[in-house]
């Protein structure tokens, strides 16, 4: 369990299924998630995901809980080989939880854990250029823009767009220490 300021990151539970499917089965949530995040998001998709997430050891995937409710999820995907020590970083929230600073708090909390107990060196996230809210979350969580990958992504409606690569290193300043 990782305690943030306004949310908690905790391991998934089998009982998250209903709330997970309800929050994830939303085209506005899926829109700029990578294609591995299904849409429509069915009960079977939720069961498949929970079967993976419940076996997670050490935990890479966390449910985001806010005000006692399942609000969404955040996780890291540690890389191997020449990328050892680096992890891909991703998150999403059910729409009714947007706009309250929850993703920023969750991202800061998971980054602290990833660089602390998990000993990672680098976290990185690629964002569809129009996903302005996610760009803001990464910036507020201490990630820096490293590059623009032109025409790298295809949106679910077929529109081609650029992707932005953001990363934060363990040695970068901790935004919690800067802004509280």
Cis peptide before 153 (omega within 30 of 0): no
For ligand COA, which is the closer residue by CB, 106 or 120?
Answer: 106
The per-residue DSSP string of 60-103 comes to: -EEEEEETTEEEEEEEEEE--GGGTTEEEEEEEE-GGGTTSSHH
* Minimum CB distance to ligand COA, residue 25 (Å): 13
* Minimum CB distance to ligand COA, residue 67 (Å): 13
For ligand COA, which is the closer residue by CB, 43 or 156?
Answer: 156
**C-beta of residue 41 within 8 angstroms of C-beta of residue 25:** yes
* Minimum CB distance to ligand COA, residue 66 (Å): 9
For ligand COA, which is the closer residue by CB, 103 or 120?
Answer: 103
Give contact residues for ligand COA (rule: CB under 6 A): 29, 32-33, 91-93, 98-104, 125, 127, 131-134, 136-137
The encoded tokens of residue 99 equal 């706009």
């Amino acid at each position: 369990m990782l305690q943030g300021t306004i949310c908690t990151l905790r391991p998934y539970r089998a009982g998250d299924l209903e709330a997970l499917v309800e929050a994830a089965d939303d085209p506005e949530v899926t829109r700029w998630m990578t294609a591995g995040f299904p849409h429509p998001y069915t009960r079977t998709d939720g069961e498949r995901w929970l079967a993976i997430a419940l076996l997670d050891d050490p935990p890479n995937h966390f449910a985001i809980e806010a005000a006692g409710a399942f609000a969404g999820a955040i996780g890291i995907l540690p890389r191997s080989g020449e990328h050892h020590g680096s992890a891909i970083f991703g998150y999403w929230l059910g729409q009714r939880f947007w706009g309250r600073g929850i993703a920023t708090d969750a991202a800061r909390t998971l980054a602290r854990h990833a660089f602390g107990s998990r000993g990672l060196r680098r976290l990185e996230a690629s964002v569809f250029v129009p996903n302005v809210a996610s760009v803001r979350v990464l910036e507020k969580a201490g990630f820096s823009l490293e590059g623009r990958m032109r025409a790298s992504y295809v949106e679910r409606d077929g529109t081609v767009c650029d992707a932005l690569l953001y990363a934060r290193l363990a040695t970068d300043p901790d935004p919690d220490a800067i802004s509280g």
